[in-house]
Structure 1
Amino acid sequence: MRTCARWWGRGSPPLRLGITLLLISPVLLALQLLVVAGPRSPGAAGAGEEGRGQEGAVAFSVISIEPERSYRRVKTPFRRPGVEEEGEGEEVEEDGGRREGARTFEDENEVHWRKVGSRALEVQPWAVDQPSFTAELSRIIAHITRPQLSCSRVLSPGQAQASQPPAASHQWLLCAEDWLLPAADRPCVAYSFSMDGRDADFLKTVSGLGCEVHSFDPSNSNTSDGHLGNSLASNHGDGGVVSQHKMWLEWRAPRKRKHKTRGNLGSVSQTLADIMTALGHHTVHFLYADLLSAEWRVFQNWIESGTLQSVHHLVATVHLQWAGFEVGGTDEEVLRYWFSILQSLQAAGLKLVHSSAGEGHSVLKRTVASAHSSYTLSWVNTRR
């Protein structure tokens, strides 16, 4: 026993070392297997030459913390003559991609408008070889005082019964040809945008036709809270009933659009497309607009968004006293811009059926005896 004990005592260090080595080998083998068969980077299989390496080589998964992508504002790449730069661009990623979620709402009506009628505003050439105030103004006055479509039957202000064109001049007229009026078995929709109360005869006329009528005025105190939905529940589809809305037209498309539900826009300034969406309308058969010099930019919005294709009859007052909201440049550039708008309206299908001159003879703060400060124009859309 003592001999065995001594032998064991003498041989214990080598034996313990051998046992330790036997235990370490399986552990190292297991670690090697884990490394060789370990996870490869997700893009290793399809990477380029730099990422392929030798077959069987170990690929390591790397976790990187990237800083948030920076965004910059990109302004419109060109400036239309006669239009001030708005200074607000679209948010895009530095790599050129559009910021995710920048446009979260897109109604089916809006998609339809963009596909069917949207177009960029085409700036017209100068009237003569070089900028000329007289030449630019002359072609504008000629354009807005010469009707392009003759109507045998018309609707006069305040009258819901069609008749022959009256001998006396009226502020506006609606063309009442059968092929231009909504069918008797179809709903009729009318909008009026006015802050001076001069749309009373228009409201009376379209109400007499049995239209669903909506009147918009941001100063209107007859509405509750200024939301469209507050006055739609009982009036939607009721012919002859005028719904009052504390709402006005916007010509700038909002940079960030929230999802909008029918009957509630939550703001007192919206584009015509958004108003129609909220009210559930695909078509506005009769539209009256006295926008107090905002009409030029509003018209441009309708042209470029394609919303104009959904308006059948348009009565609007154009103001010439000054350039208008967000319109700038020299007088000649402003006049050319106005004419470009008028030409684009015509190209979209609007034909002038009546023109009525307003008071005064001021054009861009100049007194011009051959022109008036404003004109009320009546158009009909022949491409509806």
Structure 2
Amino acid sequence: MRSCARWWGRGSPPLRVGILLLLIPPCLLALHLLVVVGPQLPRASWSGEDRQGPEGSVAFTVLSIEPERNRRVDPSQRPAAEDGGRREGAGAFEDENEIHWRQVGPKTLEMQPWAVGQPSFTAELGRIITHIVRPQLSCSRILSPGQAQALPPPASSHHWMLCAEDWLLPAADRPCVAYSFSMDGRDADFLKTVSGLGCEVHSFDPSNSNTSDGRPGNSLASNHSNGGVVSKHKMWLEWRGPRKRKHKTRGNLGSVSKTLADIMTALGHDIVHFLYADLLSAEWRVFQNWIESGTLQSVHHLVATVHLQWAGFEVGGTDEQVLRYWFSILQSLQASGFKLIHSSAGEGHSVLKRRVTNAHSSYTLSWVNTRH
């Protein structure tokens, strides 16, 4: 190319034009060889700032403009796939990310915008109540409290229900696991139902004086060979990460608290098919832990009571901020694939210590994980 430019500066104008016409074909041929043959040359096995090869030879770097196939996708930026299916035409790397999304969910809680663009107690409470009283999935067959036989939905409402559609229940030849976290003894019907299904059942209550085998303490012993038998554990749910946990003294209630992931690991469970939780206002932080840790995707059926009379453990801010936080938790549950199938209102009409007429102090909600 330099020789082409050098000849251009010599001779008279007519001569220059003639020379130019003669040099165009070889110059185009040289350019063609660089574009077509160059990328096919063996790649250099050395590296360095000057890109010099052995004995002063030049190593060429070929730049690719193809899409970056190994780019990590921020789960918080992924739109929730309501149908849980794969997108048509997606590549293999997208399928892997979809699987990863289903398994771990979002890594951080995404706060929702204000209901009306600015703080408003009435607007924030209104959208929460609308969200938790409208089922998102209809079940043709259900398991009601105390019953292990699937039946059509009754005319009267129950305290909770489990969806008994075939695609949501564990296969008959597969082990079934159920957990219950309750301190008020209202889980008796739940324990009866899942025991009747032949599940491996574990009941967690920090007030238990003995475990199921008579040993005191907070031992985590499984009952893999005794389907339907309830193992009782003196243990409660922790929602703080290891670095955020406060120092616990011996005999303190916190000394027997573990995260759901820790409990599942200790018991050797990858999946909890049925989980019942009445956490006495600790549910909001526990839900956040499950969402951010990805543990939520290991739960198939979730029955939980949410308490609205006060903010809850380690939840602060103005009333409007608390309501916005609660709604963000509920939205994250939905974004993780959990669909509400039943809602039952509790007693009282107090929300954040305010008397209200259009809401109750607690609700027992039944969800199913449509992405399991």
Is the Cα–Cα contact under 8 Å of residues 181 and 204 in structure 2 kept in the other structure? yes
Is the Cα–Cα contact under 8 Å of residues 251 and 301 in structure 1 kept in the other structure? yes
* 1:39-87 superposed Cα distances (whole Å, 9 cap, x missing partner): xxxxxxxxxxxxxxxxxxxxxxxxxxxxxxxxxxxxxxxxxxxxxxxxx
Moved over 4 A (4+): 112-115
Match of 2:133 in 1: 145
The answer to whether structure 1 residue 273 and structure 2 residue 273 are counterparts is no
Larger Rg over CA atoms: 1
* 1:246-302 superposed Cα distances (whole Å, 9 cap, x missing partner): 000000011299xxxxxxxx9410000000000000000000000000000000000
Aligned length: 262
1:309 CA displacement: 0.3
| CA–CA separation in structure 2 for the residues paired with 1:183 and 1:124 | 37
The answer to whether structure 1 residue 136 and structure 2 residue 127 are counterparts is no
Is the Cα–Cα contact under 8 Å of residues 247 and 270 in structure 1 kept in the other structure? yes
With over 3 angstroms needed to count, the CA separation of the structure-2 counterparts of 1:209 and 1:350, relative to structure 1, is same
Match of 2:173 in 1: 185
Q: 2:309 is paired with a residue of what secondary structure?
A: coil
| CA–CA separation in structure 1 for the residues paired with 2:155 and 2:244 | 51
Is the Cα–Cα contact under 8 Å of residues 284 and 312 in structure 2 kept in the other structure? yes
1:238 CA displacement: 1.4
Is the Cα–Cα contact under 8 Å of residues 354 and 379 in structure 1 kept in the other structure? yes
Q: 2:242 is paired with a residue of what secondary structure?
A: coil
Query: Aligned runs of 1:169-248 on 2, under 5 Å?
Result: 169-223=157-211, 224-229=215-220, 231-232=221-222, 235-248=223-236
Is the Cα–Cα contact under 8 Å of residues 205 and 235 in structure 2 kept in the other structure? yes
Which one of 151, 160, 167 corresponds to residue 148 of structure 2? Answer: 160
Match of 1:19 in 2: none
Counterpart amino acid of 1:176?
A
Is the Cα–Cα contact under 8 Å of residues 189 and 213 in structure 1 kept in the other structure? yes
Is the Cα–Cα contact under 8 Å of residues 109 and 332 in structure 2 kept in the other structure? yes
Q: Which runs of 5+ in 2 are unaligned?
A: 1-99, 246-253
Q: 1:170 is paired with a residue of what secondary structure?
A: coil
What root-mean-square deviation, in Å, do the aligned CA atoms of Structure 1 and Structure 2 show?
1.8
TM-score normalised to structure 2 length: 0.68
1:114 CA displacement: 10
With over 3 angstroms needed to count, the CA separation of the structure-2 counterparts of 1:117 and 1:349, relative to structure 1, is same
1:129 CA displacement: 2.1
* 1:224-249 superposed Cα distances (whole Å, 9 cap, x missing partner): 332334x43xx233110000000000
* 1:103-139 superposed Cα distances (whole Å, 9 cap, x missing partner): xxxxxxxxx8997335210000000021100000000
| CA–CA separation in structure 2 for the residues paired with 1:237 and 1:128 | 54
Tell me the percent identity. 86
Query: Aligned runs of 1:1-384 on 2, under 5 Å?
Result: 116-223=104-211, 224-229=215-220, 231-232=221-222, 235-255=223-243, 267-384=255-372
* 1:347-378 superposed Cα distances (whole Å, 9 cap, x missing partner): 00000000000000000000001100000000
| CA–CA separation in structure 1 for the residues paired with 2:111 and 2:101 | 22
Is the Cα–Cα contact under 8 Å of residues 210 and 217 in structure 2 kept in the other structure? no
